[in-house]
Amino acid sequence: MTDCSLEPGEFTPLFENLVHRFGDDAFVVEMLSIFVADGNAAADRLTSAILRSDDSSIRNSLHSLKNILGTMQSGSLFMLAERTAEAFRNSNVAQARTDADELVSGTRRLVLAAGIFLGEFTKASPP
């Protein structure tokens, strides 16, 4: 597994873009809350599927992560999920595992950053 450390503000522009794009603070708070609650579990499902060498679960887990990351508009992680899925489809196991480790780590960093942003955002704009 790769390092899950977080650079301060690493994902702040992404979250600020979500707030700007949707223009509905309550919706963004709800979306980020769901992601914070479920994002690590989605990463865990991929890791577990890979450890079991369960191709169907790997495909489903990657599809789920791609959907989640697309909703979060995390372009680089979304593209990494696509690249990981392609590597698995092409039986490039070494590349797929390397990409999957990076994807899981990136997803965990994004979840952590979303939680931090959510806490700061809700303090700055109470309901």
Inform me whether the pLDDT recorded for 89 exceeds 70.
yes
Nearest C-alpha neighbor of 49 from the set 35, 34, 67, 63: 63
73 assigned to some structural domain: yes
5 assigned to some structural domain: no
Confidence band for 3, pLDDT divided at 50, 70 and 90: very low
What percent of the chain is predicted at pLDDT more than 70? 91
Inform me whether the pLDDT recorded for 109 exceeds 50.
yes
3 assigned to some structural domain: no
50 assigned to some structural domain: yes
116 assigned to some structural domain: yes
Burial class (CB in 10 A: 0-12, 13-18, 19+), 97: middle
31 assigned to some structural domain: yes
7 assigned to some structural domain: no
Domain count, the chain: 1
CATH number at residue 28: 1.20.120.160
The boundaries of the domain holding residue 118 are: 12-124
Inform me whether the pLDDT recorded for 93 exceeds 50.
yes
Token look-up 């989640």 returns 68
1 assigned to some structural domain: no
**pTM for this prediction:** 0.86
